[in-house]
Amino acid sequence: MTDTGFECCLCMKLAIKAQICEKCGSMYCKMCLKEIFGKNYECVQCQSQSFRSIKKSALQEVYDEILSKSQIVKNQKIEKPPPPKLSVVEQRTQQIYLREMCVNYEICKQNVNQQYKNEQVCSQECLFFSKLFPLVEQQDFTKIRQEIISIEQFIKNKQPTQLFQQIVIPTQQNQIGCTNFVFDKCGEGIVIKYQSVTLQEEEYTFKTVTCSKGFQNGIHFWKINPMFMTKNELKIGVSTSDRYALNTAFSDYNFGYAYYTVGQFKNGSNSNGFEYGVKFKNMGEVGVLLDMNRGVLAFSYDDNFLGKAICTDQLKKGPIYPCVALLHQAGFEFKCGLPIPQNLLELFLK
């Protein structure tokens, strides 16, 4: 990052279509503000909601000159040396990939896999992304459910080649916890955009975001990353029911189990809970570990195991739904389809 004085306070790069906070003068990319705050921009430094475009300020001429120079550097053509000759093994490995780029190349940086030639993607993850992302943006939850069922059936019927099995598919041990899901049900005011979820409102009432399709069995693992905009602690966990008001916290009910990030674990209560884990608000990474074989729910923070939160027969029976409850102004990003890190897995299975 270069220090030009025109960096965005969110992405820390040169602000594009710069917007200036009229109260404190902080600068932001217009796209960064839209992605994080939607229509209601808010300065992370002073919480002001009053902005103006840099084009309407005295800084426009200097900004245009810096932006122009940055684009010149960006567009310079760099001559690359010819690629080294591949060995026989590398050539065989490369045969499962085509020269065409995956439709999600900007994200995955991979070429199309032979197995998914007709779909023009490199993996199952990109297959889900390419099919579901447009529907998530439209919040067309009926079509999302239909598409998930269709993709799962497609993957089940598609047999990978022997070479693909040897190179890409990890060992069974490393697959423990790998689970794919989408948050597609939420309380009023919550905005879901692929793998990010945000809430911005004046009220101080917990609201829940969850899935329409629950886990039926097995071991599951996913991660929650609170956004910097989060001003109040989250409630992260699972529910054994989807029949409740989403404009409340799922852990207020007997079927809801949550790590409340004030350092408590809650089940069936808005006020009472026992001490658990660490206290944090808008930093770090929470791992959720669910073993439906043993009925165990546990959590990690920044890959440090926090211990088993609860063990109950209620968590052995599906469906079980991942949930997060947000309050006032909060947001998070989630990751799924990940194997449980070995250090956490060993402690979790004890």
Provide the pLDDT confidence category of residue 33 given band limits of 50, 70 and 90: confident
AA identity, residue 148: I
DSSP E strand stretches across the chain: 19-21, 27-28, 51-53, 97-101, 111-113, 185-186, 190-193, 196-200, 207-210, 219-226, 235-239, 256-260, 264-266, 274-275, 286-291, 296-301, 304-311, 321-326, 329-335
Q: Which pairs with CB-CB distance under 8 Å and at least 24 residues apart come from 11-20?
A: 14/66, 14/67, 14/70, 15/54, 16/67, 17/53, 18/53, 18/54, 18/63, 19/51, 19/52, 19/53, 19/54, 20/51, 20/52, 20/53, 20/54, 20/57, 20/59
d(CA 212, CA 187): 13
Q: What is the pLDDT of residue 335?
A: 92
Number of residues that this document lists for the chain: 350
| Contacting residues for 172 by C-beta, under 8 A, at least 6 apart | none
Q: Is the pLDDT of residue 203 over 60?
A: yes
AA identity, residue 242: D
**pLDDT, mean of residues 182-205:** 93
* Domains identified in the chain and CATH numbers: 19-73 (no CATH), 95-169 (no CATH), 185-348 (2.60.120.920)
% of the chain beyond a pLDDT of 70:
82
Closest CA to 290 of 205, 227, 211, 349: 349
Provide the pLDDT confidence category of residue 208 given band limits of 50, 70 and 90: very high
Cβ atoms of 338 and 224 within 8 Å: the answer is no
Q: What mean pLDDT is reported for the chain?
A: 81
What does the radius of gyration of the chain's CA atoms come to, in whole angstroms?
A: 23
Q: pLDDT tens digits, residue range 2-29?
A: 566 778 888 888 888 888 888 888 888 8
Q: Is the pLDDT of residue 166 over 70?
A: no
d(CA 197, CA 323): 12
Cβ–Cβ contacts within 10 Å for residue 87, how many? 9
AA identity, residue 23: K
Output the CA torsion sign for 159, 339, 166, 114: positive
Q: Is the pLDDT of residue 230 over 60?
A: yes
Q: pLDDT tens digits, residue range 116-149?
A: 777 787 777 777 777 777 777 677 777 777 777 7
Q: What is the pLDDT of residue 215?
A: 94
Q: What is the pLDDT of residue 222?
A: 95
**pLDDT, mean of residues 193-216:** 93
Provide the pLDDT confidence category of residue 275 given band limits of 50, 70 and 90: very high
Cβ–Cβ contacts within 10 Å for residue 95, how many? 13
Closest CA to 289 of 310, 317, 261, 272: 310
Q: What is the pLDDT of residue 213?
A: 92
Please identify which residue in the block is written with the tokens 């799962």.
Answer: 152
Provide the pLDDT confidence category of residue 186 given band limits of 50, 70 and 90: very high
Output the CA torsion sign for 227, 215, 122, 103: negative
Provide the pLDDT confidence category of residue 103 given band limits of 50, 70 and 90: confident
Tell the burial category of 177 from Cβ atoms under 10 Å away from its Cβ (0-12, 13-18, 19+). buried
Q: Is the pLDDT of residue 278 over 80?
A: yes
Cβ atoms of 326 and 197 within 8 Å: the answer is yes
Is the link from the previous residue into 226 a cis peptide, with omega within 30 of 0? no
Q: Is the pLDDT of residue 168 over 80?
A: no
d(CA 191, CA 140): 13
**Which is more confident, 56 or 243?**
243
